[in-house]
Amino acid sequence: MSQIINTVNPYNGETLDSYKQFSNEMVENYLSRAHQTFQNWRSTDIKERTDLFKQLAENLLKNKESYSTLMTQEMGKPISQSRAEIEKCALLTDFYVTNADEFLADELIETDASESFISYDPLGCILGIMPWNYPFWQVLRFAIPTIAAGNTVLLKHASNVTGCALAIQNLFEESGFPKGCFQTLLASHDQIETIIADNRLQAVSLTGSEKAGKHIAALAGKNLKKTVLELGGNNACIVLADADLDTYLDTMVNARMQNTGQSCIAAKRFIVEAPIYDEFLEKLIKKVSNIKIGDPLKDDTELSVLARKDLADTLKKQVDQSVKNGATIKIGNTIKDAFFEPTIITDVNPGMPVFDEETFGPVAAIIKVNNADEAYKMTANSKYGLGSMVFTKDTETAKHQINQIPDGAFFINELVKSDPRLPFGGTKASGYGRELSIEGIHEFVNKKTVYINL
């Protein structure tokens, strides 16, 4: 008997919809269709592909309000941020419409051959396992370059955003893509494991937790399937003594509180140099205290509920254990159902959950350091390696620290963010592989050497 998947509005607890999990036969049909569609799609002219993506971008913007509302209802994101997510997806699509042909063109290499070059050939059917925190963006930043390269995609989305997952499949089909180019699976973990073992599946891209990444990497490795893993992070935000708080404090607050703090690249650890510490803390508390909290469907809401109650419960345990270990709550740390009050916690040191772990919610951990050297060393003291940011007027000196931070990204006077033009990904427990830019479209292609003598 098929399991029922219920989607629930985290703001009011109301059930939004119910869906039947696919039978094994349905899963097989979807995989078979993806494999068969690939046989023709792989040979489709790149201009034909990009023309379809132009239509997809138009449909994204045409349906922006309905997609944004669905996103907000399913996972609680403030509606203004849901709209911004759809707009960013349209920009992503436009980027690959403009650049896919160049990115996939044969690369001529001079050798002893009459002609030699690298051909970028699609691999086949690729599985995407995606999280709920950016229900459209996470999926499309994987799917668009992957499909543009000539592959087909199967999506296993987080169950609490099943409506979004099905809406994305409809988006592709209504934009004119062949049936089977992009399909959403309402599948169990066992069914996903069966797909990964199937010879028709060529690779897996996962965005999610470190635990999920290890599990999928092990399964894929057992079956010799390539993986791209974008996992968790506990990004540092370094605030040096010369930082311009008047200019950049809003950016710092946004780095922690956007998407109600549910972002892998959020600033989770604020490492603050002693001379500016008191001023920074006072201004941060004032800013965070004035964040507009409320119904996520209201235009002026800046922060609302977490996506599920269990996420709030986990965050509470991390904060409370840190307090037991000696940390101090300055504001916040109250919880009601899926709501977690914006929280600032000080006297944080390594060994505390809010320092060592990923805190997926509106909690800012503040660490005081004596000087810049100590700040950079503290930043690197993490098992994660997704991204770091530093705020300082001395950007030239900051640039010399780039090689000291073994992360996938290093931002100076800006929050860590993804941009279609730049590669995105991490190191260490934050995963491997890259999304976006030319690197993203090359992750799921066969870089084939061609050598011709006349």
Q: What is the CATH number of the domain that holds 397?
A: 3.40.309.10
Q: What is the pLDDT of residues 357-402, one digit of tens each?
A: 999 999 999 999 999 999 999 999 999 999 999 999 999 999 999 9
User: Does residue 285 sit in the same domain as residue 299?
Assistant: yes
Average pLDDT of 64-71? Answer: 98
User: Does residue 225 sit in the same domain as residue 348?
Assistant: no
Please give the share of the chain, as a percent, with pLDDT higher than 70: 100
User: Does residue 291 sit in the same domain as residue 362?
Assistant: yes
Please give the share of the chain, as a percent, with pLDDT higher than 90: 100
User: Does residue 248 sit in the same domain as residue 169?
Assistant: no
User: Does residue 306 sit in the same domain as residue 410?
Assistant: yes
For 377, the domain range is: 236-419
In this prediction, residue 452 has a pLDDT band, given cuts at 50, 70 and 90, of very high
Our answer to whether residue 230 is catalytic in this structure is: yes
Is residue 284 within 8 Å of 344, Cβ to Cβ?
Answer: yes
Whole-model pTM above 0.85? yes
The reported pLDDT for the residue numbered 1 is 56
Q: Which run of H or of E encompasses 278?
A: helix 274-289
Average pLDDT of 81-101? Answer: 98
- Would you call 305 exposed, middle or buried from its count of C-beta atoms within 10 A (0-12, 13-18, 19+)? buried
Cα–Cα dist 83/263, whole Å: 17
How many residues would you count in the chain?
454
User: Does residue 266 sit in the same domain as residue 318?
Assistant: yes
Q: Is 355 left (phi over 0), alpha (psi -120 to 50) or beta?
A: alpha
Query: At CA 45, angle to CA 43 and CA 51, rounded to 5?
Result: 130
* pLDDT exceeds 80 at position 429: yes
Q: What is the pLDDT of residues 138-192, one digit of tens each?
A: 999 999 999 999 999 999 999 999 999 999 999 999 999 999 999 999 999 999 9
In this prediction, residue 238 has a pLDDT band, given cuts at 50, 70 and 90, of very high
Task: Exactly one of 74, 85, 210, 230 is catalytic; name it.
Answer: 230
* pLDDT exceeds 90 at position 134: yes
Is residue 425 assigned to a domain? Answer: no
**Least confident residue range of 2-6, 109-113, 417-421:** 2-6
User: Does residue 332 sit in the same domain as residue 311?
Assistant: yes
Is residue 424 assigned to a domain? Answer: no
Strands ordered across the beta sheet of 410-412: 328-331, 343-346, 363-369, 269-273, 236-239, 388-391, 410-412
Cα–Cα dist 151/119, whole Å: 15
User: Does residue 223 sit in the same domain as residue 245?
Assistant: no
